[in-house]
Amino acid sequence: MRHRLHPSTSKAVVATFVAASLLLAGCGGGDDEETPDAAPSEPTSSETSEPPEPTYWPLTGLERKGDAPEHPVVVTKVDNTSSSAPQVGLGAADLVVEELVEGGYTRLAAFYYSKVPAAIGPVRSMRASDIGIVPAGATVVTSGAAPITINRINGAGIPWITEGAAGVYRENTRSAPYNLFARLADIAKSLKAEKEPPPYLPWGTEADLPKGVKARTLTADFGAHATTWQFQGGGYVNSNSYAAQGDQFPADSVLVLRVKVGDAGYKDPAGYAVPETKFEGKGAAVLFHGGRAIKGTWTKDGLNGAIELSTKGGELTVPAGHVWVELVPAVNGNLTFAK
C-alpha cells in the first residue's frame, strides 16, 4: 500500500530541506563558490570538417603541396643525337617521351609542369607523332615543322611557340640547327592554363605492382639509335645520354610501349621518309621499376585518349615518380633486358 504525506507534514519537510541547504551554503568559503557545469560546447568547424583531399601532380603522380601552376604543361622537342650534346634542362622534366624520327634516330618530348628550368635545348622540330603524345591543353616549344605537319598540328588544336617568339633564342657557341634554345621559365610565365591537366599515366604505388622478373639493364632499339638504361641506386640511369653532367633525367621507372609506325607522307631534306608513330589502339607494354620488369598491354582510345595499362591479372599502374616513356616501333624496333 502506498503512503501519502499529510499536507502539513509535506510543508515541514520542504522547510527543513531549504534551511539545511542555506546552512551548507553559509559554511562554504566566499571564494570557493561552485558554479553550475557549463553546457557542452559545440564542436568547431575545424573539429568537424574532414581533412582536405590530397592533390597530385598529373605528370608524376606525386603528391602536390599548394596550388597548381597557372601555366599549362609545356612540352619541348629536344634533339637526341650526338650533335645535341650537351642537352640542357632534361633534369628538371617531369616526364620524357622518346619517339622515332627519320633515319632510325629519335627525338625527345620533354614535359614540364611542376618545375620549369631556366633554359632548355637544343630545341628541334615537331612531328605528326606529337598529336598522340602531347596532352590536351599543353603548349609545345619547337623549332617549327614541315608545312604538312604544321597543318596537322594546327588542326589538332595544339598551340606551339617557335623562333621569333619571346624567350626563343640562338646560342652563339653552337652551330645550327643545334643552337636553338628556349628560356622556358620566362615562356611559362607568359602562358595561362584554362584548367589543370588530367593524369598522363595511371598512377599507383610500388606495392600495387605484380612481382615481374629481374631486369637491371634494358635497351630500347629504334634502328640507328638505341637507348640503354641501368638500374642503379633505386632508379634508372641512361648510360648513353647526351645530357649535360648533372642534368640527366632522374628516371624512377622506364615504360616501354610497342607502337605501330606509318608514313607521315613526306621526306626530310636528306631524302629519308618521315615516320609517324600511331599512338592509339593497343600494343605490348613492359614497365621497368625497382630492378624488375612487368609485362602487360597498353590501350589508348584515339590519339587524345588516356593511356591505360593492364596485365593478365588486371589493371597495371605506374608507381608515382619520374617516368621515361619509350615508344619503340613494333616492327623494326626491339627491346632487350637482362638480370
Q: pLDDT tens, 188-217?
A: 999 999 899 999 999 999 999 999 999 999
Is residue 258 within 8 Å of 333, Cβ to Cβ?
yes
Looking from the CA of 234 toward its CB, the CA atoms found within 13 Å total: 4
Q: How far apart are CA 215 and CA 123, in angstroms?
A: 33
Domain 63-338 has CATH 3.40.50.300: no
For the chain, which residues make up each domain, given as ranges? 63-338
Question: In this predicted structure, which of 29-38, 165-174, 247-256 has the lowest mean pLDDT?
Answer: 29-38
Average pLDDT over residues 328-337: 97
Q: Which three cell numbers stand for residue 102?
A: 627519320
Phi then psi dihedrals of residue 283, to 5 deg: -175, 180
Taking CA 321 as the corner, what is the angle to CA 79 and CA 74, rounded to the nearest 5 degrees? 45
Q: How far apart are CA 227 and CA 219, in angstroms?
A: 6
Nearest Cα to Cα of residue 304 among 156, 58, 147, 132: 132
pLDDT at 50: 80
Average pLDDT over residues 221-239: 97
Question: In this predicted structure, which of 33-47, 131-145, 163-177, 253-267 has the lowest mean pLDDT?
Answer: 33-47
For residue 31, pLDDT over 50 is answered with no
Average pLDDT over the chain, rounded to an integer: 89
Reported confidence tier of residue 129, pLDDT bands at 50, 70, 90: very high
pLDDT at 111: 98
pLDDT at 19: 37
Q: How far apart are CA 5 and CA 15, in angstroms?
A: 15
